[in-house]
Amino acid sequence: MADLVVVGSIALDSVQTPFGKVTEALGGAATYFSYAASFFAPVRMVGAVGADFPREHLELLGSRGVDLSAVETLPDQKTFRWTGEYGFDLNEARTLDVQLNAFAAFKPALGPAHRAARFLFLANIDPVLQLEVLGQMARPALVALDTMNFWIEGKREDLLRVLARVDVLMVNDAEARMLAREPNLIRAARSITAMGPKTVVIKRGEYGALLYYQGQFFFAPAYPLEAVFDPTGAGDTFAGGFMGYLAQQDSTDPAAMRRAMVRGAAMASFTVEDFSLDRLRRLDRAELDARLAAFAQMVRLED
């Protein structure tokens, strides 16, 4: 068992889907990631909130054993806020408003325990901040990174600088195509490995996820759900399950990554069943194990 550091947003999300809405609910990439990863390994969060951030949210993460010592509360700032909506095609969010707030001013300073962690996840945030955190790490065994169209278009040079030092890129198909400037997804994945990450994980929402490494592919299906309420956080919980499992196994080998993909897909399948972290909060280990067994069954070829 190794430990795991994540840097990324801790947010208050206002989300509308065809099935309901929430206002200023707990969200943020680092939040979803940490909660999911906590089922597998010890997690240390790096991030910032404003003075307005409800204490109960930090207590919830603390109750999962998440180390919050590097989560700064900036007294003169407000918490990061995201407002978005989904139509009946739940595959794509429309962002209505983003307020960086605390993250605009945030300068992370990692302590010795964080610097020594063997697994690092750079959640989707300014690549300059991702590079700042990566630069403070001693010698991680595996670094994974998520990003989005905003940074791919707006801060491509910074992003390429951090990508050169990363082992795993985790993005959705549109982001992979945009980053590689190549419409064919398979060629895009291969071209991304020349930028640094030897492994590329492509998240495709209801169609599952694809792992590419050393010319080989692995597919993890999405769990077939009869009701998807809110896809917000699915990608980050996928990353949490994936990285949490690798940290738990303290392994970076291809077989562990395949099993990690299924952990990621399982965690994501719970997240989308309710708003915010509500479904994850009701999740217990037995339910998770049952869903992992169902995943294995979904791709099992032999009797």
Catalytic residues: 236
94 binds a second copy (CB under 8 A): no
Which structure tokens are listed for 118? 């063997």
Give least dist CB 87 to a second copy, A.
12
Question: Applying CB under 8 A, which part among 146-154, 163-171, 199-207, 237-245 lies near a second copy?
Answer: 199-207
181 binds a second copy (CB under 8 A): no
107 binds a second copy (CB under 8 A): no
19 binds a second copy (CB under 8 A): no
Q: What is the largest CA-CA distance in the chain?
A: 61
For the chain, the DSSP string reads ---EEEE---EEEEEEETTEEEEEEEE-HHHHHHHHHTTTS-EEEEEEEETTS-HHHHHHHHHTT-EEEEEEEETT-PPEEEEEEE-SSTT-EEEEEEE-THHHH------HHHHT-SEEEE-SS-HHHHHHHHHH-S--SEEEEE--HHHHHHSHHHHHHHHTT-SEEEEEHHHHHHHHT-SSHHHHHHHHHTTS-SEEEEE-GGG-EEEEETTEEEEEPPP--S-----TTHHHHHHHHHHHHHHHHT--SHHHHHHHHHHHHHHHHHHTTSSTTHHHHT--HHHHHHHHHHHHHHH----
Interface pick for a second copy out of 4, 45, 163, 262 (rule CB under 8 A): 262
Give least dist CB 211 to a second copy, A.
9
184 binds a second copy (CB under 8 A): yes
Q: Which of residues 215-244 bind a second copy (CB under 8 A)?
A: 216-219, 221, 224-228
Residue type, 252: T
Nearest CB to a second copy, comparing residues 93 and 219: 219
194 binds a second copy (CB under 8 A): no
Handedness of CA 297, 298, 301, 303 (dihedral sign): positive
214 binds a second copy (CB under 8 A): no
Nearest CB to a second copy, comparing residues 57 and 177: 177
208 binds a second copy (CB under 8 A): yes
291 binds a second copy (CB under 8 A): no
296 binds a second copy (CB under 8 A): yes
293 binds a second copy (CB under 8 A): no
185 binds a second copy (CB under 8 A): yes
Nearest CB to a second copy, comparing residues 161 and 218: 218
Interface pick for a second copy out of 210, 246, 247, 272 (rule CB under 8 A): 210
Q: What are the residues binding a second copy (CB under 8 A)? A: 88, 183-187, 204, 206-208, 210, 216-219, 221, 224-228, 255, 258-259, 262, 296-303
